[in-house]
Each structure stands twice: as structure tokens, then as C-alpha cells.
């Protein structure tokens, strides 16, 4: 066992492997493009409000990226 401990470097944190890798969160640009695609494909009815909490759960992103992506759509008068 003493030999095993010498193989682990202190500078490297111990990382436990999991069975499923975490999904990467979308960037603001990716989120913007996806929201734009949803609008074009009429995922929501015309005039229907976007539910920000649903976006949070669906894309697993915090408020600032959601706000930035929605503001980009507004700036495009979409």
C-alpha cells in the first residue's frame, strides 16, 4: 500500500469518476440561437410569454446568460 500512496501527486485533486458525464451548459450564443430556433419553429404561440423558470430547468443556466440571450432576441426585434 505504501507504493500506491507515492503514485498520487498532491498537486492533483482526487477526482471520482461517475458513470454519466455532466452535460456542458450552453453558452449565451448557443442559448440565443436555440431560443431563436424555438421562436421560428413556433414552440410558443405568438404573443405567449417565455417562462424563465422553464428555461432555467431546460437549459440548466443561471439568470445572467438567460437574460443576455433574451436581450439579444429583443435587440434583433425578434
CB 28 within 8 A of CB 65: yes
pLDDT over threshold 60, residue 25: yes
pTM above 0.75, yes or no: no
Boundaries of every domain in the chain: 24-78
Residue 65 corresponds to which cell in the numbers above?
Answer: 446568460
Task: Note every long-range contact of 61-67, with CB atoms under 8 Å and residues 24 or more positions apart, other chains counting.
Answer: 61/25, 61/26, 61/31, 65/25, 65/26, 65/27, 65/28, 65/31, 66/31
pLDDT over threshold 70, residue 56: yes
Confidence of residue 47 (pLDDT cuts 50, 70, 90): confident
Higher pLDDT: 5 or 52? It is 52
Q: Answer yes or no: CATH 1.10.10 is held by domain 24-78.
A: yes
pLDDT over threshold 90, residue 19: no
Amino acid at each position: 500500500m505504501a507504493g500506491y500512496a507515492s503514485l498520487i501527486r498532491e498537486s492533483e485533486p482526487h477526482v471520482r469518476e461517475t458513470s454519466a458525464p455532466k452535460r456542458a451548459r450552453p453558452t449565451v450564443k448557443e442559448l440565443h440561437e436555440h431560443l431563436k430556433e424555438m421562436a421560428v419553429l413556433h414552440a410558443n404561440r405568438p404573443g405567449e410569454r417565455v417562462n424563465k423558470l422553464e428555461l432555467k430547468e431546460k437549459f440548466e443556466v443561471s439568470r445572467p446568460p438567460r437574460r443576455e440571450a433574451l436581450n439579444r432576441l429583443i435587440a434583433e426585434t425578434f
